[in-house]
Chain A
Amino acid sequence: MRAALDLQFSLSFTVPKNMAASVSFRREFCSLARIFSGFSHLGPRAVFACSAHRKCNIIRSHLPVISSSSFHTGTVFLSAPSLITVTEEPDTLLQRVSLLVKGHDQAVLDSYEFFTTMAAKELGININKVYEPPKDMERLTVLKSVHIFKKHRVQYEMRTHYRCIELSHLTGSTAQVFLEYVQRNLPEGLAMEVTKTAMEKVPDHILEPMWKENPAEDGPNDVLLLDMLPLNFPSKAVGGDLQSL
């Protein structure tokens, strides 16, 4: 079973009483909705409708045919209970999820690492290891003066610090929840790369070779292979799906 994420901020944050906070919330929703519409592993087509006042920001996303889960952010001021939709589609299993966070400031990376590890522990996710890959220094040397004085230069360097947090044995839903939480709270100035290793069973059409029934086939067998093409193979979808980005 797979639990879809219906995230309502009224649960996690205290309901703001003044206008300023709700306006900032709305801006947050706007930018984050755009970020999440960019996640290609979900591939949603987010239609963002901003209605009047301080109220509803409804982000409806239409996911491709396979899954029936949906993103729904309700109003900040409604106190309706959250809806957890459980779909019939089996949950994906992720053997490893590796978060690589890059930034210029090591103190911010330290704080973020503390936040991420604590969040993982609270949600019951196994943390494999947390380590710090060596920093990258990009140096450049430029002329100090606008005109002549070739011997006098100025050197600059840009330091990129890294932090890698490896988690293991996550289900698809848990990974979605954790990653969304952690990415919404990514501070300014940090970038993140998430590498997921999903596990799959050997599909049915690879268990047995199909030539066993017809041992004497030759040339026209290439035609038979086309039967095994999955339904949404790119040959049909190249033109259409680009619009969904």
Chain B
Amino acid sequence: MSGSSNIIAMKKVVQQLRLEASINRVKVSQAAADLQQFCLQNAHQDPLLTGMSSSTNPFRPQKVCSFL
């Protein structure tokens, strides 16, 4: 019985490798260019990257309210 379960396990490995070998891949230069484009396109909307002034930062230091 253990023989057939070894075969089943091996069969799974081969099926998995066949699946992985058959996928379509693109060149790294293409993929890298796309990653870079995404970054640059969204850079101005990234508050941590561009920095925010204290007045617009929702986590600005808490100001104490006082009655005048």
- The answer to whether A binds B is no
Name B's A-contacting residues (CB within 8 A): none
